[in-house]
Structure 1
Amino acid sequence: MKSADVIIVGSGVAALQLSKRLRSDLNVIIITKSNVQNSNSYKAQGGIAAAIGEGDDYRQHADDTLEAGRFHNDPDIVIKMTKEAPALIKELVEEGCPFDQASNGLLMLGMEGAHRQKRIVHGGGDATGQRVIDFYLHRKNKKTTIIENMTVFELLVDKNQNSCFGVNGKNSDGQIESIFAPHVVIATGGCGQVYSFTSNAETVTGDGIALAYRAGAAISDMEFVQFHPTLLYVDGKAQGLVSEAVRGEGARLVSEDLTFIMDGIHPQGDLAPRHVVSQTIYQYIKNGQSVYLDISSIKNFQTRFPTVTQLCESNGIDLRKNLIPVAPGSHFLMGGIETDLYGKTNILGLYAIGEAACTGIHGANRLASNSLLEGLFFGKNLASWINLQTNQNSIRQSIPLKSFVKEVQPPLPDISELKERMMEFTGIVRTKQGLERHKKWLEQFQVKKWLEMDYSTLTKEEITKVFMLISSWLITSSALDRTESRGGHFRADFPYEDDSHWLRKKIDHKRHSEKDGKNEQIKATLTT
Structure 2
Amino acid sequence: MNFSPPRYLVPFHPKRIPHHFVDVMIIGGGIAGLRAAMEIDPRLSLLVVTKDQMQESNSSYAQGGIAGVLDTADKFENHVADTLTAGANLCDQEVVEMVVREAPHHIRQLIEWGTKFDTEEGGELMLGREGGHSHHRIVHALGDATGAEIMRAMIRRVHDEIKAQVWPNTFTIDLLTTEGECRGALVWNAHHGKTFVWAKQTILCTGGAGQVYRETTNPPVATGDGHAMCYRAGAVLSDMEFMQFHPTVLYIAGSSRSLITEAMRGEGAQLVDANGYRFMPDYDERTELAPRDVVSRSIVEQMRKTDHPCVYLQLSHLDSDWVRQRFPGIARTCHEFGIDIARDPIPVRPGAHYMLGGVRVDHDGRTSVPRLLAAGEATASGLHGANRLASNSLLEGLVYGAHAGRAANAAALEEPDSFRAIPLENAEVSQSTEPIDLTDVGNSLKSLMWRDAGVWRNEDVLADAALMIDRWIRYALTRQFTHPAGWELQNMLTVSRLMVESARIRTESRGVHLRHDYPETNDESWHRHILLSEGADVAYAPA
Contact 1:197 1:238 in 2 (8 A): no
Which residue, out of 467, 471, 474, partners 1:444? 471
Q: 1:337 to 1:114 in 2, by over 3 A?
A: same
1:405-445 CA distance string (max 9 Å, x none): 73415966611111011000000000100000010000012
What residue number does 1:367 align with? 389
Contact 2:49 2:166 in 1 (8 A): yes
Contact 1:182 1:395 in 2 (8 A): no
1:330-357 CA distance string (max 9 Å, x none): 0001100011011101111111100001
Which residue, out of 492, 516, 519, partners 2:541? 516
Q: Could you tell me how far 1:200 is from its partner in structure 2?
A: 0.5
What residue number does 1:148 align with? 168
What residue number does 1:378 align with? 400
What residue number does 1:124 align with? 142
Written as runs of structure 1 = structure 2, the 5 A alignment for 1:414-425 is 414-425=441-452
1:19-47 CA distance string (max 9 Å, x none): 11221222211111111101100000010
Q: Describe the SS at the equivalent of 1:307.
A: helix
Deviates more, 1:440-449 or 1:176-185: 440-449
Asked if 1:434 is matched to 2:465, the reply is no
Amino acid at match of 2:520: Y
What residue number does 1:470 align with? 494
Contact 1:29 1:146 in 2 (8 A): yes
Tell me, in whole angstroms, the C-alpha distance in 2 between the residues paired with 1:462 and 1:182: 29
1:434-458 CA distance string (max 9 Å, x none): 00001000001236983xx574x43
Deviates more, 1:329-338 or 1:283-292: 283-292
Q: Could you tell me how far 1:62 is from its partner in structure 2?
A: 0.8
Which residue, out of 53, 63, 66, partners 1:35? 53
What residue number does 2:337 align with? 315
What residue number does 1:399 align with? 422
Q: 1:348 to 1:143 in 2, by over 3 A?
A: farther
Deviates more, 1:412-421 or 1:272-281: 412-421
Contact 1:339 1:352 in 2 (8 A): yes
Tell me, in whole angstroms, the C-alpha distance in 1 between the residues paired with 2:113 and 2:379: 27
Q: 1:366 to 1:144 in 2, by over 3 A?
A: same
Q: Could you tell me how far 1:146 is from its partner in structure 2?
A: 1.2
Contact 1:66 1:75 in 2 (8 A): yes
Q: Describe the SS at the equivalent of 1:414.
A: helix
Tell me, in whole angstroms, the C-alpha distance in 2 between the residues paired with 1:353 and 1:150: 19
Asked if 1:244 is matched to 2:262, the reply is yes
> When the two structures are superposed, what TM-score results if normalisation uses the length of structure 2?
0.91
Written as runs of structure 1 = structure 2, the 5 A alignment for 1:406-417 is 406-408=429-431, 414-417=441-444
What residue number does 1:172 align with? 190
Tell me, in whole angstroms, the C-alpha distance in 1 between the residues paired with 2:429 and 2:204: 25
Deviates more, 1:473-482 or 1:295-304: 295-304
Unaligned 5+ runs, structure 1 = 520-528
Tell me, in whole angstroms, the C-alpha distance in 1 between the residues paired with 2:416 and 2:263: 44
Tell me, in whole angstroms, the C-alpha distance in 2 between the residues paired with 1:107 and 1:516: 40
Tell me, in whole angstroms, the C-alpha distance in 1 between the residues paired with 2:157 and 2:537: 43
Written as runs of structure 1 = structure 2, the 5 A alignment for 1:220-259 is 220-235=238-253, 239-259=257-277
Q: Could you tell me how far 1:404 is from its partner in structure 2?
A: 7.7
Written as runs of structure 1 = structure 2, the 5 A alignment for 1:14-413 is 14-140=32-158, 141-158=161-178, 160=179, 162-173=180-191, 175-235=193-253, 239-287=257-305, 288-289=307-308, 290-299=310-319, 300-389=322-411, 390-391=413-414, 394=417, 396-397=419-420, 399=422, 401=424, 406-408=429-431
Q: 1:295 to 1:177 in 2, by over 3 A?
A: same
Tell me, in whole angstroms, the C-alpha distance in 2 between the residues paired with 1:294 and 1:304: 15
Q: Could you tell me how far 1:394 is from its partner in structure 2?
A: 3.9
Contact 1:507 1:513 in 2 (8 A): yes
Q: Describe the SS at the equivalent of 2:281.
A: coil
What residue number does 1:525 align with? none
Amino acid at match of 2:419: R
What residue number does 2:485 align with? 461
Q: 1:34 to 1:75 in 2, by over 3 A?
A: same
Q: 1:405 to 1:66 in 2, by over 3 A?
A: farther
Contact 1:231 1:238 in 2 (8 A): no
Amino acid at match of 2:318: I
Contact 1:25 1:143 in 2 (8 A): no
Q: 1:383 to 1:264 in 2, by over 3 A?
A: same
Contact 2:324 2:342 in 1 (8 A): no
Q: 1:180 to 1:143 in 2, by over 3 A?
A: farther
Tell me, in whole angstroms, the C-alpha distance in 2 between the residues paired with 1:116 and 1:71: 18
What residue number does 1:522 align with? none
Contact 1:198 1:238 in 2 (8 A): no
Amino acid at match of 1:408: Q
Amino acid at match of 1:224: F
What residue number does 2:6 align with? none
Contact 1:72 1:504 in 2 (8 A): yes
Would you say how many aligned residue pairs link Structure 1 and Structure 2?
Answer: 513
1:255-307 CA distance string (max 9 Å, x none): 12221110131121111111111111112223422410011233211110111
Contact 1:238 1:327 in 2 (8 A): no
Q: Describe the SS at the equivalent of 2:456.
A: coil
Asked if 1:486 is matched to 2:506, the reply is no
Identity percentage of aligned residues = 37
What residue number does 1:524 align with? none
Unaligned 5+ runs, structure 2 = 1-18
1:381-423 CA distance string (max 9 Å, x none): 1122223223457463463649687341596661111101100
Tell me, in whole angstroms, the C-alpha distance in 2 between the residues paired with 1:254 and 1:404: 58
Deviates more, 1:311-320 or 1:129-138: 311-320
Tell me, in whole angstroms, the C-alpha distance in 2 between the residues paired with 1:383 and 1:464: 27
Amino acid at match of 2:312: Y
